[in-house]
Chains A and B, each alone.
Chain A
Amino acid sequence: MIDVLYFAWLRERIGLPREAVETSAATVADLVAELSDREERYALAFSDLSAVRVALDQELADFDAPLAGVREVAFFPPMTGG
């Protein structure tokens, strides 16, 4: 089980802030593919990955990063702080 979190417009498009996902995905990209296959709203949210950032256990990561041992995955748009 992995906790998957969504922020900003990804949260709005997918329609929830977090969910527990049962997955055997090896990498972030595999998880994205798995979610996108599940329902249209995921496919839509993940349709342009250049506009999506990912964090694994609260550290920024790449889409090819492995998920082994990861407890929390977060997807969000490029950050706009300051």
Chain B
Amino acid sequence: MEIRLQQAAFLAGDELDGFTARAEGAGAIVSFSGIVRDDSGQLSEMVIEHYPGMTERALEAIAAEAVERWKLIDALVIHRFGPMKPGAQIMMVATAARHRRAAFEAAEFLMDYLKSRAPFWKQEHGPDGARWVAAKDEDEAALDRW
């Protein structure tokens, strides 16, 4: 299990290759990447604030639960903080399991929990200034299925 919290950009392809090479015995690997989206066409940058200390603990706990519940061979979480341009990769998760269903489900679980239970806050910057992104009710509701 690997958890990385960093300001620097990363190469999802390289990360996935490395993760796959290390996941001995895996028959299925699923990965998800989150990208800075610009719905208005006016986003100059997205800034992610986090809670140093708690963020690492929360990510570790969420990943450990996924590994335990779906008997994963391995799990990877990379999440960036700080300023990012539209189109940049914010984060990725990857899961390795013997079979695909466990890998898919664990990746979805990781994403659902990471969205609402890891202390990150997104702020969008545009021509009218900065705006904190509001949490969606549906993100909170998504936790109920687990």
A-to-B contact residues, CB < 8 Å: 5, 7-9, 55, 58-60, 74, 76-82
CB-CB under 8 A for A81 and B114, given A7-B121, A76-B121: yes
B54 within 8 A of A: yes
Instruction: Please name all residues of chain A whose beta carbon is closer than 8 Å to the beta carbon of B85 when the two chains form the complex.
Output: none
Given contacts A77-B132, A79-B120, A82-B34, 9 further A-B contacts (CB under 8 A): A7-B51, A58-B54, A60-B117, A77-B121, A79-B116, A79-B121, A80-B132, A80-B133, A81-B79
B119-140: contact bitstring with A at CB < 8 Å (1 yes, 0 no)? 1111100000000111100001
A74 in contact with B118 (CB, 8 Å): no
Instruction: Please name all residues of chain B whose beta carbon is closer than 8 Å to the beta carbon of A55 when the two chains form the complex.
Output: 51, 54, 119
SS of B interface (majority) = mixed
The docked-state distance in angstroms from the alpha carbon of A60 to that of B114 is 14
B57 within 8 A of A: yes
B132 in contact with A9 (CB, 8 Å): yes
Instruction: Please name all residues of chain A whose beta carbon is closer than 8 Å to the beta carbon of B117 when the two chains form the complex.
Output: 60, 79
A74 in contact with B116 (CB, 8 Å): no
B54 in contact with A79 (CB, 8 Å): no
B30 within 8 A of A: no
Residue of chain A at shortest CB distance from B132: A9
CB-CB under 8 A for A58 and B51, given A76-B119, A80-B120, A82-B34: yes
The docked-state distance in angstroms from the alpha carbon of A74 to that of B122 is 17
